[in-house]
Amino acid sequence: MDFIKAKEEFKNYLKDYDAENSSVKLKIVHTYHVVDFSEYIAKSQGLDEENVELAKLIALLHDIGRFEQLKELNDFSDTKGIDHADLGVEILFNKNLIRNFIEEDKYDNIIKVAIANHNKYKIENELTDLEVVHSKIIRDADKLDNFRVKKENDFQSNFPGSKNVENIAYEKISDKVYNDFMNHQCIKLIDRKTLLDFWICILAFIYDFNFKSSFQYIKDKNYIDILVDKIEYKDEETKARMENIRKCAKDYIDMKIEE
């Protein structure tokens, strides 16, 4: 497995897309950060060098479907008929593009399964141990970088296509979203009704983390406080709920680190 060659092939693949387009650039930067996070997690789990390299390769390719999705829809929404993970699997394996990135085929099913599962609500059942491990690594790494993106971007960038983002401070949290969060559940896309629901959905990513190193990273970077405090809540009920969410999230992270 030659990861350096795979990176060069990835750069070649991207030549068909406008790297100066802000959305394309966002996903390119995201991809390389997810590679770094995947390496961090894989090493923290004591995986051998071959599996560390495999984790990095999966990360490099996990969002390859995003670029075609953007070209087709001018949008990154998986609810408009194109699931970017499934599209990525199709691009890589139905068109045999995978051989540009890795010569041997012994890891094909792990790569396919991990990419297909990285954006789903839950990992599918009846996978091999290695398929599960690599699916969990890419899911954690992807979500870790979502915290970075939400911290660094302004609200218009964090809510692409949304109007009246400046009014987010006056919005409320839907009861179901709030209750699901407080019950340590991830938020389903169909349940998001307000921009604040979307924000809570990001914070709830912690409930899908699989590794202690992921929880430790979020704690070390103080991401819960940073994201909660990024909005000056004008509604008193919302302000109180956000303080409950802050405490619930931080207590959960501490519990998972201590396990």
Mean pLDDT of 3-20: 90
The encoded tokens of residue 188 equal 């389903």
Taking the CA of residue 177 as centre, how many other CA atoms within 13 Å lie in the half-sphere pointing to its CB? 25
> Per-residue pLDDT for 125 more than 80?
yes
pLDDT tens-digit series, residues 127-169: 999 999 999 999 999 999 999 999 987 765 666 555 566 778 8
> Per-residue pLDDT for 94 more than 70?
yes
The encoded tokens of residue 169 equal 């401070």
Answer with the residue of higher pLDDT: 208 or 96: 208
> Per-residue pLDDT for 83 more than 80?
no
pLDDT, position 141: 97
The encoded tokens of residue 42 equal 């894989």
Question: Radius of gyration (Cα) for the chain, nearest Å?
Answer: 19
> Per-residue pLDDT for 77 more than 70?
no
> Per-residue pLDDT for 188 more than 70?
yes
Query: Which domains occur in the chain, in start order?
Result: 1-153 (1.10.3210.10), 166-259 (no CATH)
- CA dihedral defined by 178, 181, 185, 188, rounded to 10 degrees? 50
- Cα 22 to the center of its chain, rounded Å: 18
Return the closest-CA partner of residue 171 out of 146, 203, 133, 200: 200
Q: Cα angle vertex 201, ends 90, 176, to 5°?
A: 120
Could you tell me what percent of the chain has a pLDDT over 70?
92
CA–CA distance from 149 to each of 33, 72, 78, 164, 214 (Å)?
10, 24, 18, 20, 16
Question: If pLDDT is split at 50, 70 and 90, which confidence band does 19 have?
Answer: confident
